[in-house]
Chain A
Amino acid sequence: MAAKAEKKYVVALAGNPNAGKTTVFNNLTGGRQHVGNWPGVTVEKKEGTSRGGSLEFALVDLPGTYSLTAYSLEEVIVRDFIAGNKPDAVVNVVDASNIERNLYLTTQLLELGVPLIVALNMMDVAETRGVKIDVELLSELLGVPVVPVVALRNRGTDELTETIAHALRGEARFRGIQVLYGREAEEEIAKLRAAIESDEALDQAFLGKYSARWLAVKLLEEDERVEEDLDRVEGPDAPVMKQLEESRRHLFSIFGEDIETVVVDNRYGFVAGIVREAVKREREGYASKSDRIDNILTNRILGFPIFAFFMWLMFFLTFYLGKFPMHWIEALVKGFSNLVSTNITSPVWLHSLLVNGVIGGVGAVLVFLPQIFIIFICISILEDTGYMARAAFIMDRIMHWLGLHGKSFIPLVMGFGCNVPAVMATRTLESEKDRMITILVNPLMSCTARLPVYALFTAAFFAANQGTITFSLYLMGVILAIAMAKLFRKTLFRGESEPFVMELPPYRWPTAKGTVVHMWERGSLFLRKAGTVILAGSVIIWLLAYLPWGVTYGSSASIAGKIGHFFEPLVKPLGFDWRAVVALLFGFVAKEIVVSTFGALLGGGTRATITTRLHTIFTPLTAYTFMAFTLLYTPCLATVAVIKKETGSWKWAAFAVAYSLVLAWLVAFLIYRVGLLLGGK
């Protein structure tokens, strides 16, 4: 495409959680997207491009929020992006079947004064519920274009892109409608506005990002972020501060409650007025299909067994179904290895690098992709159907007893997939303490990267009851996570966990496309990891095992051998030798590398040869001890990085590494010693 050097338009997508924002995004961009993070934080940021007529524009998917306060990071991201980056238009995805609650956010987007387009999603659901919406009138009342769409069926997408193009060309109408907060509050807002406008320091600090009216309202609302900004810029005696104090006191004397409540009430009042005009309901209190399903799925007696069944099903599918494609990939890797082996024989080092290093390392990990993808498909389906929220609901009491929150449950389940997105998913927890505990124990949930280790060792030492042994490790992780959560709650993060308040979205059939896109977003991280970190790790390990020149590959004379020997005394009490040290050391980069390291150190080749050679350095007892150690010791590099980002300090990242190392050593020591006492070998 020969793109003309025109202005690059940016359109942002905002809306409530569960309003169908992601589906609208996929419709507009055709599923092509770039997933990254918001600068400085790890809230997911999705970008893509779309076009309306001849106009191409970048589309940015903002996090789903109910409001634009400073109470949660997502909300701050949304308003900072809209105010700071000044997108050329904002598309507000509104769930038509739940219009009041959704329009609450709309009023706040209107207040930010951006060109807004309302995409009225789920019109079909609204209709079946007997909700009739006069789209024309709604558009008139809100003063912005309103486009009805059914995102799941990709209906209305063309009209939406057309409207966006109109808006970008400046042809759409925006009447700049404001919520009014009542005479008394408006008087104070006017005074504050005047004080803000006449203050040069403030003008400098906010540089046209926010309007004076918006700042005034936010100050009355006691918005933490705006107050902090103000604190930085202004002295305590500045006229704005004086005015603010006076206004607050005055309004408090009138209303007898904090002004925030007055502001919220007025916004709802504004929404209620619009809904009264533009929305007709044929019947109220509609007992939906969702409620009937909930009667069964969240039932006091049935709820838990059903939930346990779904969890069991997830693991069954992952391990049982995953086996078949695993064999195919294994055969492929082996074939490729043979091909390289026979065709590239000289120079010797290149042959060794390719066969032992690259194919031995990356191949050993690639084999597990099917299982990783299946577990992510399962998690996507659980999320997309709306069941995950019910799982949190069902688990809340148990989680509460464990010192966690119902919502902690979702990140913990995701931890079985990969701890990185799981740690990110802790964002949904409102309380900082709940979040910290959930983050810190998350690495104890056995992620799919640890699976290759179990698979290799159980096949080699416990061929008869592979499943049971693997299960025992998962269980060990869960039990220790619970124990550590309780411990952390009693020591580091004292206090009650936040009470449970969560929206339960209506049940929906997941669409194949949506599920695949979700799975791909997360699962492809592994593919990328295999191509980058693991490839690099494999080559480095190969180098360390190959050098100095002339030594036998992976012998104790090699650099790897020397490093291993150096640390050997530390793991001697656990029954490991120096090769285990090397594997664990490199496993810090990514736990799959433990397998590829053995692959490389034991001379690569097929799994059968690795398996037989493993018997020379492990006994069944030390093998189990080693698996337990691998499960528990230090989160992988990517997880450590994400913990640092999420907690905002290296201190907690270091703590996560340190406590898990100590825990791993203690548990491994216990297993090994008790095992020896019981006569194990």
Chain B
Amino acid sequence: MSDGGAMPLSFMAPGQSGVLAEVHGLRHHYREGEDIEHAGPVKTYRRAHMYHTDRGHRLEHRLKHMGLIPGARVEIIKNSLSGPVIVRVGETRLGLARGVASRIMVFPEAGPPGAGG
């Protein structure tokens, strides 16, 4: 997949902003070949639930409901190269674990690119 210049949010410097491209590596749902099984009748719903409640999916979901959707403008408030990152989405400040931030791909807008990491 080409991200055309998108970079992980965890590599961006404080003050830098950008537009969220996508969240990587969290989707466990509807991978190729799995969709038929997932969309199957009752009993396989149960299995779908297991996917549903898996970490990746739930995390992605939480990010979405807190406003981190593709196309959203984000700005790094705090990033000190280790430990969690603070990011602004709209007027919300979110604290994100570094592992999460490194999966969020962003098209940087302005400022010096990638101040470390």
Contact = CB atoms under 8 A, between A and B. Distances in A.
Interface of A: 66-67, 69, 71, 95, 97-101, 104, 129, 222, 224, 227, 231, 234-237, 241, 245, 248-249, 252, 257-258, 260-261, 264-265, 268, 285, 290-291, 294-295, 298-300, 389, 392-393, 396-397, 400, 406, 430-431, 496, 498-506
Contacts of A231: 42, 45
B104 to A, nearest CB: 11
A264 B92 contact: no
Contact of B30 (A98, A257, A504): A257
Contacts of A98: 90-92
Contacts of A406: 84, 95, 97
Nearest to A227: B45
Interface residues of B, number: 47
Question: Which of B41, B65, B94 lies at the interface centre, i.e. has the most chain A CB atoms within 10 A of its CB?
Answer: B65
A390 to B, nearest CB: 8
B86 to A, nearest CB: 6
B78 to A, nearest CB: 6
Given A71-B58, A231-B42, A499-B97, A393 B52 contact: no
B48 to A, nearest CB: 7
Given A285-B75, A298-B78, A506-B93, 11 more contacts: A67-B65, A260-B61, A285-B17, A290-B93, A298-B86, A430-B58, A430-B62, A501-B97, A502-B95, A503-B92, A503-B95
Interface in B76-95: 77-78, 80, 82-84, 86, 88-95
B87 to A, nearest CB: 10
B83 A291 contact: no
A498 B58 CA distance: 10
Given A104-B65, A500-B96, A224 B52 contact: yes
Contacts of A66: 65-66
A498 B54 CA distance: 10
A245 B39 contact: yes
Nearest to B29: A258
Contacts of A500: 84, 95-97, 100
B82 A300 contact: yes
A48 B75 CA distance: 41
B6 interface: no
30 contacts: A66-B65, A71-B58, A71-B62, A95-B91, A101-B89, A101-B90, A222-B52, A234-B42, A235-B42, A249-B36, A252-B39, A258-B29, A285-B17, A285-B88, A291-B77, A298-B78, A393-B86, A393-B95, A396-B97, A400-B97, A430-B58, A430-B62, A496-B55, A498-B55, A500-B97, A500-B100, A501-B63, A501-B96, A504-B93, A505-B93
Contact of A101 (B45, B53, B62, B67): B67
A503 B64 contact: no
Q: Is the interface of B mostly helix, strand, loop or mixed?
A: mixed
A252 B35 CA distance: 8
B86 A294 contact: yes
B55 A501 contact: no
Contacts, number: 137
A496 B100 CA distance: 13
Contacts of B84: 393, 396-397, 406, 500
Contacts of B69: 264-265, 268
A299 B81 CA distance: 12
A71 B94 contact: no
Nearest to A131: B91
B115 interface: no
A203 to B, nearest CB: 20
Nearest to B14: A295
Q: Closest 4 interchain pairs by CB? A: A98-B91, A500-B97, A236-B41, A236-B42
B9 to A, nearest CB: 12
A294 B83 contact: no
Question: Which of B29, B35, B66, B91 lies at the interface centre, i.e. has the most chain A CB atoms within 10 A of its CB?
Answer: B91
Contacts of A245: 39-41
Contacts of B65: 66-67, 69, 104, 264
A410 to B, nearest CB: 13
Contacts of A400: 97
A294 B41 contact: no
Question: Which of B49, B59, B67 lies at the interface centre, i.e. has the most chain A CB atoms within 10 A of its CB?
Answer: B67
Nearest to B42: A236
A504 B66 contact: no
A504 B95 CA distance: 6
B63 to A, nearest CB: 7
B94 A431 contact: no
A295 B48 contact: no
B99 interface: yes
Contacts of A104: 65, 67
Contacts of A264: 64-65, 69
Interface string B13-48: 000010000000001011000011001111101001
Nearest to A251: B39
Contacts of A99: 91
Contact of B67 (A100, A392, A499): A100
A402 to B, nearest CB: 15
A100 B55 CA distance: 26
A651 to B, nearest CB: 21
B28 to A, nearest CB: 11
Contact of A71 (B35, B43, B61, B77): B61
A245 B89 CA distance: 35
A248 B58 contact: no
Contacts of A95: 91
B91 A101 contact: yes
A97 B88 CA distance: 13
B49 A227 contact: yes
Contacts of B78: 291, 294-295, 298
Contacts of B66: 66, 101, 501, 503
A274 to B, nearest CB: 14
Given A100-B67, A245-B40, A291 B30 contact: no
A285 B42 CA distance: 48
Contacts of A241: 41-42
A285 B58 CA distance: 29
Nearest to B59: A499
A470 to B, nearest CB: 32
B43 to A, nearest CB: 7
